[in-house]
Amino acid sequence: MTKINVEKCAKILREKDNILILMHAHPDGDTLGCGFALCRALLKLGKKARAICGDEIPKKYNYLYSDMEMPEFEESFIVSVDVATETLLGALQEKYSGRINLCIDHHATNSEYAEYLLLNADAAAAAETVLKVVKALGVKIDKHIADCLYTGISTDTGCFRYASTTSNTYRAAAELIDLGAENAMINRAMFETKTWSYAALERLAIEGMEFFGNDKICVISVTQDMYKKTGTNEADTEALPPLTRQIEGVEIGLTLREKADGSCKCSVRTYESVDASVLAGFFGGGGHKQAAACNIECSLEEAKKSLVEQGLKLLS
């Protein structure tokens, strides 16, 4: 593994062709924005490039790629974007594990699995770094690339709210808006639009909130039954984790989702007092200081008990 800077990254990409870009499973705006922005930039350079994800991409992200035509080809260079560890590739892991040439990421917990690693852990979103790479590639950023990168930045910062947001993040957003990014449309679609079914799920989730440890831990539990009742699925739960941390006094917010196979996934949100990636790390997960996640191979009730126990230890 060789750590590289933006210029070296651009140099490597310029020399390659038939580039396959991998985005992480349970895709969010940052991995998708980075993947499609980089793909668009490489296509503009006359290269063959394609961005793929192991999971279905939620409909609300259609605008990132609906106009694109991505060619088929035999890949000769593999790039991952916003993917901290190979396990996060989900369905793509088996095929591409150990074969990734370049990783562009912003997770301090990156497991250094790629041949080359461009890591900026100070960036609020991987898209901040991909913006620099696209510029270093000499590609003229068009409206579509700007929309993709703005989406990555906006979604990974909770629309510029989170502590990870720096003045550089704001400057990148300003630059992308001047290049055509439709910030109003994007933020409306990402943050201001609740489907009827999501609104129903959110209501059930809020009604079922539980509190532990002098109300410092807030837990939302999403069961398969709740998906059935509201016509939703796991992809609809993305907006729930921030709700846990919004109640005054809460230091740890846990959002547990029961999977169809009986195991569960937990999103961890914290403030300064607890490192979310440490709590998720106990269970084999990872992420950032105030936002992390893990999968646990047990029932929702058992996972909740274990997570709350570990959380209480970290708070004490």
Residue whose CB is less far from its own copies, 91 or 206:
206
- H helices of 254-299, where? 276-281
Q: Which residues contact 210 (CB under 8 A, 6 or more apart)?
A: 218, 219, 221
Residue whose CB is less far from its own copies, 64 or 173:
173
Residue whose CB is less far from its own copies, 46 or 249:
249
Residue whose CB is less far from its own copies, 96 or 170:
170
The order of strands in the sheet holding 2-3 is: 2-3, 116-119, 102-105, 77-81, 19-23, 49-53
Nearest approach, Cβ of residue 110 and its own copies (Å): 23
Within 10 angstroms of residue 60's Cβ, the number of other Cβ atoms is: 14
Residue whose CB is less far from its own copies, 86 or 202:
202
Looking at residue 87, its amino acid is T
The site for its own copies (CB under 8 A) is made up of 159-163, 165-168, 170-171, 173-175, 177-178, 183-184, 187-188, 191-196, 199, 203, 206-207, 242, 245-248, 271
Cα maximum dimension of the chain: 59
Q: Taking a C-beta distance cutoff of 8 angstroms, is the pair 287, 268 a contact?
A: yes
Residue whose CB is less far from its own copies, 193 or 299:
193
Nearest approach, Cβ of residue 90 and its own copies (Å): 28
**What is the b/e burial string over 210-244, where b = at least 16 CB atoms within 10 angstroms of the residue's CB?**
eebeeebbbbbbbeeebbeebebbbebbbbbbbbb
Token digits of residue 37: 């922005």
Nearest approach, Cβ of residue 184 and its own copies (Å): 4
Alpha-carbon gap, residue 180 to 92, rounded angstroms:
33
Q: Element (H or E) spanning 221, and its range?
A: strand 217-222
Nearest approach, Cβ of residue 170 and its own copies (Å): 4
Nearest approach, Cβ of residue 65 and its own copies (Å): 22
Nearest approach, Cβ of residue 106 and its own copies (Å): 17
CA 266 centroid distance within chain = 14
